[in-house]
Amino acid sequence: MQIRQMTQEDVNAAVELTSRENWLSENYDVFQAFLFHDPKGCFIAEKNQEPVGICIATPYTHSGFIGELIVSEEHRRQGIGSRLLVSAIDYLKSRGISSIYLDAVPEAVPLYERLGFHRVCRSLRFHGRLEGQENEQVRAMRKWDLDRVCALDRYTFGDDRHFFLKWISFIGPDFAKVFTKNKTIIGYITGRYIKNGVSVGPWIIPPDINPEKLLLSLAIETLDEILHLGVLESNEKSIRLLQSLGLQEKDHFSIRMAWGKETTLGTSHNCFAIGSPAKG
């Protein structure tokens, strides 16, 4: 068994592995984005020249995320997942990353704890349909808004993820919205189509500025598709808001875990929805 860097030729295999796990938000475009962002952080495990596992390490400036860790069912309990995980951790450390984050399924938490990670909070999932509403303070995100949106995100989220913000605004332009006050952008929301609806996030706005206006404006574009959002349990206002709008919490959840010097990335109360478990 060998672990190597993923290439363009491996993207279909990565999509197939996630499809077997019924991960609905991962598709060809997602893995293309990971490869474009940093191919050295994309790992694939091979056994007898067959792809049997994947893992993605996403470095930002000071922090990084690990996600998409999958081993095919018939090759589990052979240490492949642990080797992929260690490869991802070692790569981020080699980049000078001082804090690493991931969303763990509950049964995998002991493994991550043995590697020095600790629990931050639960990472919840909500879904449902919403009737859209227009608002005069919300408008479509324009190309020239991106610098301001990325600066706002960097300040609120805590690191620079401009690559993925520009990517998601490009593949989901109808869902990219900004909230303005006195002609200044103070919040934004993005989304993209997935297999069973629309994945929403990141969604960033001050909690005292009626954050639902952004979400309901995005809902206009969804044509009654199901919305899917990830929310950190620490953002109680976001959870109450989604519940008040009639969205349902899914039965399954993951555990946000962190390793390193800082463990508060993305925990601002202005972060109403995460982008994804693999990107924050």
**Residue 175 pLDDT:** 97
pTM: 0.93
**Residue 20 pLDDT:** 82
**Residue 26 pLDDT:** 79
Rounded to 5 degrees, φ, ψ at 57 are: -110, 120
The answer, yes or no, to whether residue 83 has pLDDT greater than 80, is yes
The answer, yes or no, to whether residue 75 has pLDDT greater than 80, is yes
Banded model confidence at residue 72, pLDDT cuts 50, 70, 90: confident
Give percent of the chain with pLDDT exceeding 70: 100
pLDDT digits (tens, 9 = 90+) for 249-279: 999 899 999 999 788 899 999 999 999 888 8
Continuous H helices in the chain: 11-20, 28-37, 80-94, 109-114, 146-157, 162-171, 212-220, 236-244
Radius of gyration of the chain measured on its C-alpha atoms? 18
The C-alpha atoms of residue 72 and residue 81 are separated, in whole angstroms, by 10
Closest Cα partner for 20 from 98, 72, 93, 81?
A: 72
**Residue 262 pLDDT:** 80
The C-alpha atoms of residue 113 and residue 98 are separated, in whole angstroms, by 17
Vertex 60, ends 59 and 66: CA angle to 5°?
A: 40
Continuous H helices in 3-79: 11-20, 28-37
The C-alpha atoms of residue 216 and residue 219 are separated, in whole angstroms, by 5
pLDDT digits (tens, 9 = 90+) for 120-153: 999 999 999 999 999 999 999 999 999 999 999 9
DSSP 8-state secondary structure symbol assigned to residue 61: S
**Residue 17 pLDDT:** 87
Tokens 């069973």: give the residue.
196
Structural domains for the chain = 2-97 (3.40.630.30), 126-273 (3.40.630.30)
pLDDT digits (tens, 9 = 90+) for 193-214: 998 899 999 999 999 999 999 9
pLDDT digits (tens, 9 = 90+) for 20-47: 877 767 788 899 999 999 999 999 999 8
228 token code pair: 């899917």
